[in-house]
């Protein structure tokens, strides 16, 4: 009988930012990836005396790295009594997504990230700094962008995996890039974003390069890395009053959102570098210095979506999308 490799992927128990883990199981072709387990004492998810944690597959796609019949298998982590593990942030999103299903919410997440080679951003000089920011965003040429071959490989891999990747671009800081997933539902965008992140790390590995989601990889006059989260409900896609109502709802509890939008967010949301300070909340049309931006096309069409510019690159999309659903849809 033919066999295939199923690479199980899960989020560990590291605080404040989970890392991705994975291990491979050989299965018979035609066999669905079954529930499996791992040693939680090595991932900060259990103690040595009771180390078993349970992996429950929730999202499976073709594995573009190994090709053929091979698969990637994203999992939720459970305790052995089959209650969700405390590190399992997807479980709470499942409940909220179900309650708000009638709103038909869509999310599109812009994932920014930075390539590093050793201790320096990829392509940066050994001593000193590259020329100041200004010419790098969406740039072209060996003196402007670093790591494009990795970006292209990663984009192809996401497409082969069947993920809803909708674009990529070079960012404002050299060696910084972005890809976007969406627009799709909260669980789907989050699952696909985690798999796309895994593919990014895995493919960059082939080049001896690491990708980091650190929100402020270089201190000083260099842009941070975010995960702008674009959001709409059916009623927002139909009219403008619900767009404003969503912005107003988000203005009622900014602190709860900031607390769930990724570690070290205060390093990035300074009020400079196209951000609004984490201490403030404002929304506005076309305003890249606002917490929430209403795109100009949306203001013109009087319908569409809003962009929450606050989430960090290192955010957990299960938390971010749940916060937005809870606040805007009043769960």
The residues that touch Mn ion, with contacts defined as CB under 5 A, are 110, 178, 228
- Taking CB under 6 A as the rule, does residue 275 contact ligand ADP? no
Per DSSP, the residues of 151-190 read HHHHHHHHHHTT--EEEEEE-SSTTEEEEEEEEE-HHHHH
Query: Residue with CB nearest ligand ADP?
Result: 108
**Whose Cβ is closer to Mn ion: residue 71's or residue 228's?**
228
Residue 241 to residues 232, 244, 254, 269, 282: CA-CA distances in angstroms? 12, 5, 21, 28, 17
Distance in Å, CB of 17 to ligand ADP, minimum = 22
Residue 61 vs 313, nearer CB to Mn ion: 313
Rounded Cα distance, 296 and 251, in Å: 20
Number of residues that bind ligand ADP (CB under 6 A): 17
Out of 180, 223, 291, 314, point to the residue binding ligand ADP (CB under 6 A). Answer: 180
Query: Which C-beta is closer to Mn ion: that of 21 or that of 216?
Result: 216
Q: Retrieve residue 260's tokens.
A: 């769930």
Task: Give me the sign of the Cα torsion angle 303, 309, 312, 313.
Answer: positive
176 binds ligand ADP (CB under 6 A): no
Q: Is 232 in the site for ligand ADP (CB under 6 A)?
A: yes
Selected from 12, 76, 110, 171, the binder of ligand ADP by CB under 6 A is 110
Among candidate residues 269, 266, 263, the one with its CA nearest the CA of residue 308: 269
Binding ligand ADP (rule: CB under 6 A), the pick from 71, 154, 228, 273 is 228
Q: Is the peptide bond before 183 cis (omega within 30 degrees of 0)?
A: yes
C-alpha gyration radius of the chain: 20
Residue 40 touches which member of Mn ion, ligand ADP, none, C-beta under 5-8 Å by kind: none
Q: Could you say whether residue 168 binds ligand ADP (CB under 6 A)?
A: no
Binding residues among 285-304 for ligand ADP as defined by CB under 6 A:
304
- Residue 282 Cβ, how far from ligand ADP at the closest point, in Å? 17
Whichever of 110 and 316 has its CB closer to Mn ion, that residue is 110
Q: How far apart are the first and last CA of the chain?
A: 49
Q: Return d(Cα 195, Cα 73) in angstroms, integer.
A: 9
User: Two tokens at 33?
Assistant: 């990836």
Residue 182 found at the interface with ligand ADP (CB under 6 A): yes
Does the protein bind ligand ADP through residue 197 (CB under 6 A)?
no
Burial class (CB in 10 A: 0-12, 13-18, 19+), 224: buried
Binding partner of 316, given Mn ion, ligand ADP, none, CB within 5-8 angstroms per partner class = none
- Residue ranges in contact with ligand ADP by CB under 6 A: 106-108, 110, 166-167, 180, 182-183, 228, 230-232, 237, 304-305, 307
């Amino acid at each position: 009988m033919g066999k295939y490799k199923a690479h199980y992927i899960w989020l560990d128990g590291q605080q404040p930012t989970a890392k991705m883990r994975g291990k491979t199981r050989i299965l018979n072709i035609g066999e669905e990836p079954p529930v499996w387990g791992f040693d939680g004492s090595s991932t900060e998810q259990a103690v040595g005396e009771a180390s078993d944690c349970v992996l429950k597959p929730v999202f499976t796609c073709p594995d573009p790295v190994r090709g053929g019949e091979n698969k990637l298998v994203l999992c939720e982590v459970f305790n052995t009594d089959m209650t969700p593990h405390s590190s399992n942030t997807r479980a709470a999103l499942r409940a909220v997504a179900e309650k708000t299903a009638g709103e038909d919410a869509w999310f599109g997440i812009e994932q920014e990230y930075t390539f590093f080679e050793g201790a320096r951003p990829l392509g940066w000089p050994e001593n000193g700094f590259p020329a100041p920011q200004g010419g790098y965003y969406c740039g072209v040429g060996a003196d402007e962008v670093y790591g494009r071959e990795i970006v292209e490989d990663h984009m192809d891999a996401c497409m082969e995996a069947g993920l809803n990747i909708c674009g990529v671009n070079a960012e404002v800081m050299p060696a910084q890039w972005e890809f976007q997933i969406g627009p799709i539902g909260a669980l789907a965008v989050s699952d696909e974003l985690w798999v796309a992140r895994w593919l990014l790390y895995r493919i960059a590995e082939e080049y001896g390069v690491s990708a980091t989601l650190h929100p402020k990889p270089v201190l000083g006059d260099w842009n941070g890395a975010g995960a702008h989260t674009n959001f709409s409900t059916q009623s927002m896609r139909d009219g403008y009053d619900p767009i404003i109502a969503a912005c107003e709802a988000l203005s009622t509890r900014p602190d709860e959102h900031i607390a769930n939008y990724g570690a070290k967010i205060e390093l990035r949301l300074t009020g400079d570098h196209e951000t609004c300070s984490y201490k403030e909340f404002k929304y506005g049309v076309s305003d890249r210095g606002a917490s929430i931006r209403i795109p100009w096309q949306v203001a013109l069409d009087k319908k569409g979506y809003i962009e929450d510019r606050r989430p960090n690159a290192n955010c957990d999309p299960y938390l971010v999308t749940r916060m937005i659903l809870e606040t805007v849809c009043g769960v």
